[in-house]
Chain A
Amino acid sequence: MIKKIARLLAEILGEDDKDITEQTEFTQEYRIDPVDVAKLVIVVEKEFDITIYDDEAACFKNVGDVVRHVDKVFDSY
């Protein structure tokens, strides 16, 4: 799952996905803007055919949070 999410984020950022881990934070330090997070939420929804509510997306602090969230949604099916 991390590989897929990392690939999606790398495409948004135009970077190599090898540099992205679960610990990659959605901060300026990692050169990730809030709009990149919004883009990621949109593509993750499309890729996995799931809905991420905006109050849920509001709690994403790093890539790991997104991975865990998608896993949780799958587990609930």
Chain B
Amino acid sequence: MQNYENELDKEIEYFDRIIKLIKSQLTKKLENSKCNKGNLISSRKEMWDNTAHSADDFDTVVEISQYLEELNMRTSSYLAGTNEIAKLEKMRESPYFARVDFTESEAEEEKIYIGRYSLIDDDTHDMLVFDWRSPIASIFYRFELGDVHYQAPKGIIYGKVSLKRQYEIKHGKFEYFFDANVQIFDEFLRMLLSKNASSKMTTIVETIQKDQDIIIRDSKNELLMVQGVAGSGKTSVALHRVAYLMYEGLSSRLSSKNITILSPSSLFAKYISNVLPELGEDNVETLSFEDICILILGKDFRVIQTRNQFFEKLITCSDNDQKELMKSSMEFKASGTFITMLKRLITRYERKMIPFKDIYYNHKQLFDRHLLKEQLLKWDAQTPIAVKLKKIETMILQEIRKENKMRLTEIERFIINYPERIYEAEEFARMLSIKENRKVLYNIREFTDIDYTDLYCKMFHDKKLFYVLGKGLNLPENIEKIRQQSDKLLSLKTSQYEDALAITFLKVSLAGCNSYKDIKQVVIDEAQDYYPIHFEIMSLLFPNAKYTVLGDVNQTIEKQTSLTFYEDVQRILNKKTSTLINLSKSFRCTNQIIAFSTKFIDKTVKQECFSRDGVPPQIAFGATQTELDEQLKVFIRNMIEQNYKSICILCKSLKESTELYCRIKDSIDIVLMDDSFGKELSGTLITPIYMAKGLELDAVIIYNVNDTQYNSMDDKKLLYIASTRALHRLAIFYTGKLSRFLTESEKEDVHDD
């Protein structure tokens, strides 16, 4: 104890020194910022007073752009300053969270303090706090006491660690420290995990595990794949990796603009939106695949069915044959086999399907259709076809423009001979010429513009073409049914999620896409939900990017996936170096919830659990729906009384969620989470299971788990996803006969309410 007190005195002394330094740096920065702000405002005012407010001539443009350049410089300097201030303000609250005492071979022992950001003494240039992402900080995450090493820019550094210490510093107050060994650290982690879920995901810098750290700092692999069980911290790891890449990228110029995160929904994107700013980094653009489809297809596609709408339609479909057809259609149209057919369609289109025409203008044939085709095939095969067709259009228009003067003179001469005309000859001739050009342009664009949707529809409508494209491929047994159904739906101008994907693939292949050319790192979360066609599109959109792919093959909704999924990803993205890392330890749920949820997955799946005790999942039965609703209300009130901050009722479909919401909303303060939900993830919520993917909540109630609703293998996976959303409490509510997946399970783990 005496020793602790001595050490505490020293720590507090160091802490006070750091806080004093932070405060003095903060004061300086605030003064600078005030000055920069003043300069910025006066520059803006000066520009407003001294330049024209619109530019019609070149000189004014030059003048305005000179002012703008200066303004931009001042603005970025001001913004950089405010960023520094925000970091220092956060550091004033909690400057560091750990320390390691490290001795490098013969050198003196150094005390390495680790925090969210680094702190340098401006006078001595001493590094007083190291950023958690700095190379030396990795020893804190990866090693116990004794021999350690870390990868520095100049090579591997070897040494010894004699002390690992952690601190609890909150709101600028030093609370306590402890010298970390495995047991104490686990206690600390257990304490953090037993807290309520936040409405937004938070950082985990203090508790990053060794295997998580390996993923975060990996820079060797162009394709890094992570298979992680539910609650293993995949998303956290992904975001901390992004922060690490930006830190590391300071020298290689990797900024937030070069990174993109593909997330399953806008709700999920909002949920994770706090992490990077908390880590002091600019937020990275989060995209959903639907966003990509909309951006690429634009007006080329009528209505894009979202993935959630697809799930809803599938889940609420009562006709089993129709349901199977929907699933097999999705499976087929997103498969490698179908991609091969689409690639064959593209080749065929270029060679045989473009409706070239002879071009006539001013009584002459300017171009022959055969020669135009020959010209197209002669050009570089790497250039997208749509680009080549536009080159042909330009070539034709250039010839037409050469002829246009003569044609205009001819028309004018013709008009002058009509004395009864009411317009001036020049104007009237110009009008006729514009009209004529419009017709010619229409003819040209019939073959230089590609109608992607029409081409796609043709593939299903023309049976002979469809089977020519599929020749020699392993087509599913019900292929003719799929073809007919697709043809019917497409002709009715309704199309499925998978059609939007296929047309996106066609368009990117035929026209190319430059929108994402600056993306150097792509992070894909919930990757198990993607099919080969998604990865094919990604490899076209982000050809030069490195990838971090995170998923859990046990958390798919409508498809059967195994570990071969990662082999497909590797084959399609085709990167020079790649690896698959397994995260098998779950941190989210209590022991009881994990034990309960493993009943819904393959027994061979290795799933460890960070030991944390909790309340066993409850199963509640109601003789009628009304009785069950009443019990549900009581349960929710009970959860609120126990101070749980996020309580979520999960139903199978949005339809069922909406119905339940309408029944109970007058007696419980509850929010329905649908596609348009934009609020915080707290309070009492209700949503379909497929929308809760990736989220974590204090208490989860799975509603109406009877055997009519949950009886297929897909339903079993839904139960796994639903039950692993819960941090502390899980309850199953049902009427009628309990789902077979719960009656089959060992009863002793289940307690009746």
Chain A interface residues toward B at CB < 8 A: 1, 4, 34-35, 37-39, 41-42, 53-55, 57-59, 77
Residue of B nearest to A48 (CB): B56
Residue of B nearest to A34 (CB): B431
Q: At the interface, yes or no: B112 with Cβ under 8 Å from chain A?
A: no
Q: With A4-B56, A57-B434, A77-B58 in contact, is A39–B427 under 8 Å at CB?
A: yes
Q: At the interface, yes or no: B426 with Cβ under 8 Å from chain A?
A: yes
| Interface residue from A4, A38, A77 paired with B427 (Cβ < 8 Å) | A38
Complex Cα–Cα for A77 and B59 (A) = 13
Q: At the interface, yes or no: B34 with Cβ under 8 Å from chain A?
A: no
In the complex, which residues of chain A have a beta carbon less than 8 angstroms from the beta carbon of B428?
Answer: 35, 38
Q: With A4-B56, A77-B58 in contact, is A58–B438 under 8 Å at CB?
A: yes
Complex Cα–Cα for A8 and B56 (A) = 16
**Minimum CB–CB distance for A44 against chain B, Å:** 12
Q: With A1-B56, A35-B423 in contact, is A55–B401 under 8 Å at CB?
A: yes
The answer to whether B433 touches A54 (Cβ under 8 A) is yes
The answer to whether B441 touches A42 (Cβ under 8 A) is no
Residue of A nearest to B436 (CB): A54
**Minimum CB–CB distance for A68 against chain B, Å:** 15
Complex Cα–Cα for A54 and B433 (A) = 7
The answer to whether A38 touches B430 (Cβ under 8 A) is yes
The answer to whether A54 touches B437 (Cβ under 8 A) is yes
Complex Cα–Cα for A34 and B431 (A) = 6
Residue of A nearest to B431 (CB): A38
Complex Cα–Cα for A55 and B430 (A) = 11
Complex Cα–Cα for A57 and B116 (A) = 59
Complex Cα–Cα for A41 and B434 (A) = 10
The answer to whether A55 touches B397 (Cβ under 8 A) is yes
Q: With A35-B423, A54-B404, A55-B400 in contact, is A41–B430 under 8 Å at CB?
A: yes
Chosen A-B contacts, 27 in total, with CB atoms closer than 8 Å, are A1-B56, A34-B431, A34-B434, A35-B423, A35-B428, A35-B431, A37-B431, A38-B427, A38-B428, A38-B430, A39-B427, A42-B426, A42-B427, A42-B430, A53-B397, A53-B401, A54-B408, A54-B433, A54-B436, A54-B437, A55-B397, A55-B400, A55-B437, A55-B440, A55-B441, A57-B434, A77-B58
**Minimum CB–CB distance for B694 against chain A, Å:** 43
Residue of B nearest to A43 (CB): B427
In the complex, which residues of chain B have a beta carbon less than 8 angstroms from the beta carbon of A53?
Answer: 397, 401, 404, 437
**Minimum CB–CB distance for B299 against chain A, Å:** 15
Residue of B nearest to A77 (CB): B58
In the complex, which residues of chain A have a beta carbon less than 8 angstroms from the beta carbon of B401?
Answer: 53, 55
Q: Which residue, of A38, A41, A53, A54, has the highest number of chain B Cβ atoms within 10 A? A: A54
Closest 6 CB pairs of A and B: A38-B431, A58-B438, A38-B430, A54-B437, A58-B437, A55-B437
Residue of B nearest to A3 (CB): B54
Complex Cα–Cα for A42 and B424 (A) = 12
Excluding A38-B428, A57-B434, 6 further A-B contacts by CB distance (< 8 Å) are A37-B434, A38-B430, A38-B434, A39-B430, A42-B426, A59-B441
Residue of A nearest to B428 (CB): A35
Q: At the interface, yes or no: B435 with Cβ under 8 Å from chain A?
A: yes
Residue of B nearest to A75 (CB): B61
Complex Cα–Cα for A54 and B431 (A) = 9
The answer to whether B430 touches A58 (Cβ under 8 A) is no
Complex Cα–Cα for A54 and B400 (A) = 10
Complex Cα–Cα for A39 and B430 (A) = 8
Residue of B nearest to A57 (CB): B434
| Interface residue from A1, A4, A58, A77 paired with B434 (Cβ < 8 Å) | A58
**Minimum CB–CB distance for B359 against chain A, Å:** 12
The answer to whether B435 touches A34 (Cβ under 8 A) is yes
In the complex, which residues of chain A have a beta carbon less than 8 angstroms from the beta carbon of B434?
Answer: 34, 37-38, 41, 54, 57-58
Q: Which residue, of B397, B400, B431, B441, has the highest number of chain A Cβ atoms within 10 A? A: B431
Chain B's interface: helix, strand, loop or mixed, by majority? helix
> Restricting to B386-404, which residues have a CB under 8 Å from any CB of A?
397, 400-401, 404
Complex Cα–Cα for A59 and B434 (A) = 9
In the complex, which residues of chain A have a beta carbon less than 8 angstroms from the beta carbon of B430?
Answer: 38-39, 41-42, 54
> Restricting to B362-393, which residues have a CB under 8 Å from any CB of A?
none
> Restricting to B427-476, which residues have a CB under 8 Å from any CB of A?
427-428, 430-431, 433-438, 440-441
In the complex, which residues of chain B have a beta carbon less than 8 angstroms from the beta carbon of A1?
Answer: 54, 56
In the complex, which residues of chain B have a beta carbon less than 8 angstroms from the beta carbon of A77?
Answer: 58
In the complex, which residues of chain A have a beta carbon less than 8 angstroms from the beta carbon of B440?
Answer: 55
In the complex, which residues of chain A have a beta carbon less than 8 angstroms from the beta carbon of B426?
Answer: 42
Q: With A53-B404, A55-B401 in contact, is A35–B427 under 8 Å at CB?
A: yes
In the complex, which residues of chain B have a beta carbon less than 8 angstroms from the beta carbon of A38?
Answer: 427-428, 430-431, 434
**Minimum CB–CB distance for B585 against chain A, Å:** 57
In the complex, which residues of chain A have a beta carbon less than 8 angstroms from the beta carbon of B58?
Answer: 77
Complex Cα–Cα for A34 and B426 (A) = 13
Residue of A nearest to B430 (CB): A38
In the complex, which residues of chain B have a beta carbon less than 8 angstroms from the beta carbon of A42?
Answer: 426-427, 430
In the complex, which residues of chain A have a beta carbon less than 8 angstroms from the beta carbon of B433?
Answer: 54
Residue of B nearest to A33 (CB): B431
Complex Cα–Cα for A54 and B440 (A) = 11
Complex Cα–Cα for A38 and B432 (A) = 9
Residue of B nearest to A55 (CB): B437
Complex Cα–Cα for A37 and B401 (A) = 19
Residue of A nearest to B439 (CB): A58
> Restricting to B29-71, which residues have a CB under 8 Å from any CB of A?
54, 56, 58
Residue of A nearest to B429 (CB): A38
**Minimum CB–CB distance for A37 against chain B, Å:** 7
In the complex, which residues of chain A have a beta carbon less than 8 angstroms from the beta carbon of B441?
Answer: 55, 58-59
Q: Which residue, of B56, B427, B438, has the highest number of chain A Cβ atoms within 10 A? A: B427
Complex Cα–Cα for A35 and B440 (A) = 19
Residue of B nearest to A12 (CB): B427
Q: Which residue, of A4, A35, A41, A55, has the highest number of chain B Cβ atoms within 10 A? A: A55
**Minimum CB–CB distance for B410 against chain A, Å:** 13
In the complex, which residues of chain B have a beta carbon less than 8 angstroms from the beta carbon of A41?
Answer: 430, 434
In the complex, which residues of chain A have a beta carbon less than 8 angstroms from the beta carbon of B438?
Answer: 58
Complex Cα–Cα for A55 and B403 (A) = 12
**Minimum CB–CB distance for A35 against chain B, Å:** 5
**Minimum CB–CB distance for B426 against chain A, Å:** 7
Complex Cα–Cα for A37 and B423 (A) = 13
Complex Cα–Cα for A41 and B400 (A) = 18
**Minimum CB–CB distance for B61 against chain A, Å:** 9
In the complex, which residues of chain B have a beta carbon less than 8 angstroms from the beta carbon of A55?
Answer: 397, 400-401, 437, 440-441
Complex Cα–Cα for A37 and B437 (A) = 14
Residue of B nearest to A58 (CB): B438
Complex Cα–Cα for A54 and B434 (A) = 5
Q: Which residue, of B56, B400, B401, B430, has the highest number of chain A Cβ atoms within 10 A? A: B430
> Restricting to B409-433, which residues have a CB under 8 Å from any CB of A?
423, 426-428, 430-431, 433
Complex Cα–Cα for A54 and B426 (A) = 13
Residue of B nearest to A39 (CB): B427
In the complex, which residues of chain A have a beta carbon less than 8 angstroms from the beta carbon of B423?
Answer: 35
**Minimum CB–CB distance for B702 against chain A, Å:** 52
**Minimum CB–CB distance for B450 against chain A, Å:** 18
Complex Cα–Cα for A55 and B437 (A) = 5
Q: Which residue, of B404, B436, B437, has the highest number of chain A Cβ atoms within 10 A? A: B437
> Restricting to B727-746, which residues have a CB under 8 Å from any CB of A?
none
